[in-house]
Amino acid sequence: MTRRLSNTADGPKRSCTLVLAGGAPRSYSPGLRMSTQSPPGFPHRHLLGIEGLSPLDIVALLDRADEAVEISRQVEKKRTTLRGRTQINLFFEPSTRTQSSFELAGKRLGADVMNMSVASSSVKKGETLIDTAATLNAMRPDIIVVRHHQAGAVHLLARKVDCAVVNAGDGAHEHPTQALLDALTIRRNKGRIEGLQVAICGDVLHSRVARSNIILLMALGARVRVIGPSTLLPPGLQRFGVEVFTDMRKGLAGVDIVMMLRLQRERMNGSFVPSVKEYFRYFGLDGDKLSHARADALVMHPGPMNRGVEISSEVADGAQSLIREQVEMGVAVRMAVLEALATHLPNA
C-alpha cells in the first residue's frame, strides 16, 4: 500500500512516497541516492532519512550496530575501518549529545573527526549553505554529518558535495540515526520489533524524531499509536497508518513501548499549549499514566528531557526507563552507519 505523506507546516517541500506496514519494498526516494555501482551490502551512498531504506537495509544496520555495541564495551575500542578518512560534523543547530555521539563513533572507527558549529561562525557572517558546502568540499572530507534547522537542507547539501552525507536532524523532517538507535534499543530489550505496540507521545508536530520513528517502526511491522494534544498533532496523521489519540490514558492502554518527545518550544511560533503545568497534567508521563501501559512496558526519550514537562523524574529514572541505554546505542548505531557508508568511499 503506497500513500502520499502530507508535509507538516515546516516539513520538506517535496512530497514523498511511503510504503506502510505490510507493504513490500518501498519505492525509490530522492532522499537516498542509490550508488550506481553499489557493492553488496548497504546500497546507499548517503543516509538522509529512514524514508527510502528497505526493511532489509534497516535490519542490516541494526545487526551491524549490535556488533558495534560489543566493540564499545571492550577496553580496546579502536577499529581501522575509517583510518585515513576525514569526517566533518557540521552542526548548524546547537547539539551536545548527537554531535559527541557521532564524534566518538568516527574516532572508534579510526577517522579524523572535525567538529564545526556553524551557528556561531560563517552563517552569522551571511554565508549561504551552498557556499559552506563548497568550502568544506574543497577540504576533501570523506563523510559530512550535518544538522540543520531547515527541513531539506541536508538533501541540498548532499547534492553539492562529493562525499557521503549523514543527516543528523533537519528541521522537523528526519533524524534517521535517532530512529535507528531507538529501534536497536527496543530490539535488544524486547527481542523483536514486529507486532509490538508503540506509543509516540507529545509534540509530534515539530518532531523529526517522531517522523523517522513512525516510518521505521511501520516498516518493521510494529503497530504505532500517536498521542498528543490536537494542536501538536500534524493533520492527516492517520494516513500514515498510525492510530491517533488525544487522551494519554486511553492511548497508553496495553502498549509495549512508550516513547516520549520533548516539547520543542524553540520551533513553536504561536501558542500550542496553554501552560507547561497544564501540559504536564494531561500529557506528561508520570507513574499513574504509565500504569495504563502493559506492566512490562518500557519508556524512552530521545533527549534532552524536560523533566516535569513531558516526563516526571520518577519515570525517567525508574526501572522501566531505557533512556540511558538509548545513549549507548546511539554511538553503536552511528558506528554502524559510518561503516556502512564507508563501503562506498573511493578505494574502500
Which residues are CB-contacts of 204 (< 8 A; sequence separation ≥ 6)? 210, 226, 228, 232, 233, 234, 237, 261
Min separation Cβ 324 and ligand ASP, Å: 14
**Distance of alpha carbon 148 from alpha carbon 127, whole angstroms:** 14
b/e 187-219 (16+ beta carbons within 10 angstroms → b): bbeeeebeebbbbbbbbbbbbbbbbbbbbbbbb
- In terms of CB distance, is 12 or 43 closer to ligand ASP? 12
For residues 301 and 234, what is the distance between their CA atoms, to the nearest angstrom? 20
Minimum CB distance to ligand ASP smaller for 264 or for 321: 264
Minimum CB separation of residue 68 from ligand ASP in Å reads: 18
Burial of 73 (0-12, 13-18, 19+ CB in 10 A): exposed
Q: Distance (Å, rounded) from C-alpha 137 to C-alpha 180?
A: 27
Tell me how far, at minimum, the Cβ of 333 lies from ligand ASP, in Å: 12
User: CB of residue 203 vs ligand ASP: minimum separation in angstroms?
Assistant: 8
Q: Where along the sequence are the contacts to ligand ASP (CB under 6 A)?
A: 95-98, 169, 175, 178, 208-209, 262, 264, 302-304
In this complex, which beta carbon is closest to ligand ASP, that of residue 149 or of residue 294? 149
Query: Least distance from C-beta 91 to ligand ASP, angstroms?
Result: 9
| Sign of the torsion angle spanned by Cα atoms 33, 38, 43, 48 | negative
CB of 238 to ligand ASP, least distance (A): 23
Nearer to ligand ASP (CB atom), residue 7 or residue 177 = 177
Nearer Cβ to ligand ASP, position 55 or 321?
321
Q: Which amino acid is at 106?
A: G
Handedness of CA 30, 31, 36, 38 (dihedral sign): negative
Residue type, 102: F
**Which lies closer to ligand ASP via its Cβ, residue 109 or residue 209?**
209
Kindly state the smallest distance separating residue 85's Cβ from ligand ASP, in Å: 23
Q: 115, 137 in Cβ contact below 8 A?
A: no
Please report, for residues 28, 159, 211, 276, the alpha-carbon distance to residue 32 in angstroms, rounded to integers and kept in the order given. 8, 11, 16, 38
| Nearer residue to ligand ASP within complex by CB, 46 or 175 | 175
Cβ proximity to ligand ASP, 19 vs 103, nearer residue: 103
The grid coordinates listed for 109 are 572507527
Q: What residue number has its CB nearest to ligand ASP?
A: 98
Contact 298, 320 (CB under 8 A): yes
Least gap, CB of 199 to ligand ASP (angstroms): 17
Q: Which is nearer to ligand ASP, 98 or 132 (CB)?
A: 98
Residue 250, Cβ neighbours under 10 Å: how many? 11
Query: Which grid coordinates belong to 7?
Result: 508535509
Q: Which amino acid is at 220?
A: L
- Minimum distance from residue 127 beta carbon to ligand ASP (Å): 22
Alpha-carbon gap, residue 8 to 235, rounded angstroms: 8
